[in-house]
Structure 1
Amino acid sequence: MVMTDLLKPEDIKKALDAFAGETFDPTKFFEMLGMKAMTAENVRKVFQVLDVDGSGFIEEEELKFVLKGFSKEGRDLTDAETRAFLIAADKDGDGKIGADEFEALVHE
């Protein structure tokens, strides 16, 4: 499965363009993509695409490249953005984002 199976290509481009040069805000990004209106099941499908190694978690190293999971034109997150994203989503403090945590952040 690829991201364009789940999200509109024009929404992906618009959201990536909005954060091309400014500080990444995952909540605003997911809202721009229309993910807040998605079912929990479909948000989990997005999560699976972003979970590159298939571990069931998005670890900090995967998180740095999360925008490229939406489109190869996406930029890498800075270390500070990666850390802020992790802190925002990692509710149990285990240093990685599970599917439940990801879905909760999207629908926050």
Structure 2
Amino acid sequence: MAMTDLLAVSDITSAINACQATDSFNPKVFFAMVGLSKKSPLEIEKVFRILDQDKSGFIEQDELQLFLQNFSKGARALTAGETKAFLLAGDMDGDGKIGWEEFSALVKAS
């Protein structure tokens, strides 16, 4: 399954373009721009499964760094600062990774 099966290409393009500048990525703004925050729990879970590249049940720091590339192949990697801020925003239990429930809560907070 691809992100474009769940989200509009035009929304993905707009969201990627809005955070092209270094240190401009904000997960809540991004989720709202791609329309993810308006999706059903099942659709959000499908996106989570795409982002969980190693199928561990969690989105870890290395997967967060390449977050944008899951939406658009040519997108930039997140900076170390953006990755850390993203992790802090989503990691509610402090275990250093984002689980499904944490991801869903972060998306819905957008």
Please tell me the TM-score bracket, short chain as reference.
over 0.9
Give 1:87 shift. 0.1
- Counterparts of 1:1-108 in structure 2, within 5 Å, are 1-22=1-22, 23-108=24-109
AA paired with 1:51?
A: D
| Alpha-carbon distance in 1 for matches of 2:106, 2:28 | 7
The count of aligned residue pairs is 108
Runs of 4+ in 1 over 2 A off after TM superposition: none
TM-score, with normalisation over the residues of structure 2? 0.96
> Structure 1: which 5+ runs fail to align?
none
| Alpha-carbon distance in 2 for matches of 1:59, 1:70 | 17
| Alpha-carbon distance in 1 for matches of 2:90, 2:12 | 21
Give 1:7 shift. 0.5
> Structure 2: which 5+ runs fail to align?
none
Task: Give CA-to-partner distance per residue, 1:21-44, whole Å, 9 cap, x none.
Answer: 151100000000111110111111
Give 1:11 shift. 0.6
| Alpha-carbon distance in 1 for matches of 2:42, 2:79 | 29
Give 1:55 shift. 0.7
| Alpha-carbon distance in 2 for matches of 1:40, 1:69 | 19
